[in-house]
Amino acid sequence: MSRLLALETATSVASVALLVDGGLVAEHTADSSEDHAATLLPTIESLLDQAGVAPDEIDAFALSIGPGSFTCLRIGLATVKGLAFGSDRPVAAVSTLAALAWSTGHEGVLVPLLDARRGEVYAGVYERKGDILQERLGDGCYRAEQLAELVRPPLLLVGEGAPLVAPLLERRLGSDVVREPGAPRRPKAAAVAALGARCLEAGDGVAAHQLVPRYVRRPEAEVLRTRRRFEGSA
């Protein structure tokens, strides 16, 4: 029996999910009134207790690897490394933005967006056809003006960052730019689990000690030290 534990900690609301033989058994959301360091492990324990699964019975993990909050990502990363310590259980590193796009259930061109602060958003462009999700624009950190030069409608804007860029994109690109209705969607562990399972099936899992967060934008202290704002910039 294959058991996959998935964690999503990139935003202020963390969640965990359990897949057994490819089917979602349960998903729990952590208490958002406290930080992830205080709530994540109790949420995992509650989920596993409900499912009747012991931590050492988990066969593999999936982790939302970023972009997102630097502190929140590090907590998720440390938790997975702790759970997998001393074993060769693989981990699937899943883009937070890909998980956000997948969670909509919509087909077509999707633009998942998270608030990156400082007038910027974390964004990617994905196209979903049936059960296939393809990356069309790599995850990055953008201002609305920059994003308008890189995307082409029709587009569905998804996530907490959508209100920050939608007015400009709608004005420049027209009525084929649509915001997902309702409250802004957050990335969820169930989507991380679904994409992580595909990653593992393809043989793309890694050892826990190899995991690194995908910050996209460098922490402010690192910017001041290196004078480089983005990962990979010169």
**How far apart are the C-alpha atoms of 9 and 24, rounded to whole Å?**
19
Q: Label the pairing between strands 60-66 and 91-95.
A: parallel
Burial 43-65 (b: 16+ CB within 10 A, else e): bbeebbeeeebeeeebebbbbbb
Give CA–CA dist 178/154, Å, rounded: 8
Give the tokens for residue 172: 């420049």
Predicted pLDDT at 233? 39
The confidence score (pLDDT) of residue 35 equals 86
Please report which confidence band the pLDDT of residue 1 belongs to, taking 50, 70 and 90 as the band edges. Answer: low
As a whole number of angstroms, the distance between CA 8 and CA 43 comes to: 12
Q: Helices (H), strands (E): how many in the chain?
A: 7, 10
**Mean per-residue pLDDT, 15-37:** 91
Determine if the peptide bond prior to 154 is cis (ω within 30°). Answer: yes
Q: Which of 48, 40, 52, 46 lies closest to 82 in space, CA to CA?
A: 40
Q: Is the pLDDT of residue 228 over 70?
A: no
pLDDT classification of 224: cutoffs 50, 70, 90 = very low
Domains detected in the chain: 3-96+187-226 (3.30.420.40), 105-179 (3.30.420.40)
What is the per-residue pLDDT for 221?
Answer: 42
Which pLDDT tens digit goes with each residue over 171-198?
999 999 999 999 899 999 999 999 999 9
Angle between helices 189-201 and 96-103 (to 10 degrees): 110
The one-character DSSP state at 172 is H
pLDDT at 97 over 80: yes
Give the integer Cα–Cα distance in Å for 108 and 211. Answer: 31
Residue 218 has pLDDT above 80, yes or no: no
Residues 116-173 have pLDDT tens digits of 998 999 999 999 999 999 999 999 999 999 999 999 999 999 999 999 999 999 999 9
Point out which residues pair with 29 in neighbouring strands: 15
d(CA 135, CA 208): 24
Q: Residue 173: how many CB atoms within 10 A of its CB? A: 16
Q: Which two tokens stand for residue 159?
A: 């996530």
Q: What is the model's pLDDT at position 73?
A: 95
Which residue in 35, 38, 47 sits closest to 11, CA to CA? 35
161-170 per-position pLDDT tens digit: 999 999 999 9
**Region of 227 on the Ramachandran plot (φ > 0 left; ψ -120 to 50 alpha; else beta):** left
pLDDT at residue 55, rounded to an integer: 93
